[in-house]
Amino acid sequence: MLPPASASNQLNQEKQLAAAAALRWVRDGMILGLGTGSTAAHFITLLGEAVRNGQLRVQATATSQASEAQARELGIPLLEPRRGLRFDLTVDGADELDPQLRLIKGGGGALLREKILATASEYLLIIADSSKLVPQLGQFPLPLEVVPFALPWVLDAVAELGGPPVLRHNRQNPQEPARSDQGNLLVDCHFNQISDPAQLATQLQTIPGVVEHGLFLGLARAALVTQGEQVMVARPGIGPVPATGFAELP
Ligand SMILES: O=C(CO)[C@H](O)[C@H](O)COP(=O)(O)O
């Protein structure tokens, strides 16, 4: 097994390769959704270069304040939310994806805006390193965005569902809870194995005070997952097979 530093370098390289492959799915004139996290950040960097070089003219909306700041700094034209706004393509990372392209997202705390943009997109393309593809969801703790007042009751309800909940803390200031861009709390639920993601999603949706959960079901149309140096493409229930490059959108 690789030592941790080399393993994380390798995963970072895989993220960069997946991001570079995703750039080839972007067409001139597209309206894009920009994801959040380290893999999405690689994509935004490459997109910014393509915009600066005049290779691509696009407009975009970001799924977090962090991604928005990065895109603004790189000169990517940004669109505010408005009625009727739809995205041709949203490119985002994931914490876990299974062979049906069901996802766990929200490790970076942006699950609410990520789900809003994914739902408003014609095409959600996931980019990921090889560690993210799993046979069954649940090893990665499932994030919830929770209204602060509701926290105690949400913790009780999630514990009853069999996913021991842990309130996420601010990395810079561990005494404080982590907050989403909306000012809500984040709770990570340790289910370990999620045998029926659809049933769990329904159960979580009915808990008052849960603003959103990190299960993304039926939203991803394709995923670019790098294994070593090879970028693979997976579609729900199909693949992964080596990605061939251009014109992957149906
Ligand atoms: O859902 C997310 C943020 O809320 C990210 O897409 C997810 O956490 C993956 O992050 P990374 O690309 O850094 O591994």
pLDDT of 155:
98
pLDDT of 1:
52
Out of 14, 68, 114, 212, which one is annotated catalytic?
114
Q: What is the dihedral of CA 66, 76, 250, 20, to 10 degrees?
A: -70
Give the pLDDT of the chain (250 residues) as one tens digit per residue: 555 779 899 999 999 999 999 999 999 999 999 999 999 999 999 999 999 999 999 999 999 999 999 999 999 999 999 999 999 999 999 999 999 999 999 999 999 999 999 999 999 999 999 999 999 999 999 999 999 999 999 999 999 999 999 999 999 999 999 999 999 999 999 999 999 999 999 999 999 999 999 999 999 999 999 999 999 999 999 989 999 865 456 5
Q: How far is the CA of 106 from the centre of ligand 1 (A)?
A: 6
Distance CA 218, CA 8 (A): 30
Q: Which atom of ligand 1 is nearest to the CA of 39?
A: 12
Q: What is the dihedral of CA 154, 160, 166, 167, to 10 degrees?
A: 10
Structure tokens at 177: 């809870």
| Residues 231/242, Cβ–Cβ less than 8 Å | yes
Judged by DSSP in three states, 74 sits in coil
pTM (two decimals):
0.95
Residue in this structure with the two tokens 């070089």, named with its chain if needed: 53
pLDDT of 4:
74
Average per-residue pLDDT in the chain? 96
Q: Is 180 known to sit in a ligand binding site? A: no
Q: Which atom of ligand 1 is nearest to the CA of 40?
A: 12
Report the DSSP beta bridge partners of residue 104.
96, 215
pLDDT of 2:
53
Distance CA 27, CA 24 (A): 8
pLDDT of 222:
97
Name which of 225, 203, 2 is nearest 96 in CA terms: 225
- Supply the angle between the helices 65-73 and 38-52 in degrees, to the nearest 10: 20
Pocket test for ligand 1, best of 10, 14, 16, 36 (most atoms within 8 A of CB): 36
Distance CA 81, CA 42 (A): 23
Write down all domains in the chain, each with its CATH number in brackets.
Answer: 4-132+217-242 (3.40.50.1360), 142-212 (3.30.70.260)
Residue nearest to atom 3 of ligand 1 (CA): 108
ipTM of the complex: 0.99
Residue in this structure with the two tokens 């994509």, named with its chain if needed: 43
Q: How far is the CA of 3 from the centre of ligand 1 (A)?
A: 23
Name which of 104, 210, 193, 113 is nearest 155 in CA terms: 210
Structure tokens at 153: 């009751």
| 234-to-8, 33, 229, 245 alpha-carbon distances in Å | 23, 20, 16, 13
Active site residue 114: yes
pLDDT of 5:
77
- Ligand 1 pocket (Cβ < 6 Å) reads 35-40, 92-95, 105-111, 114
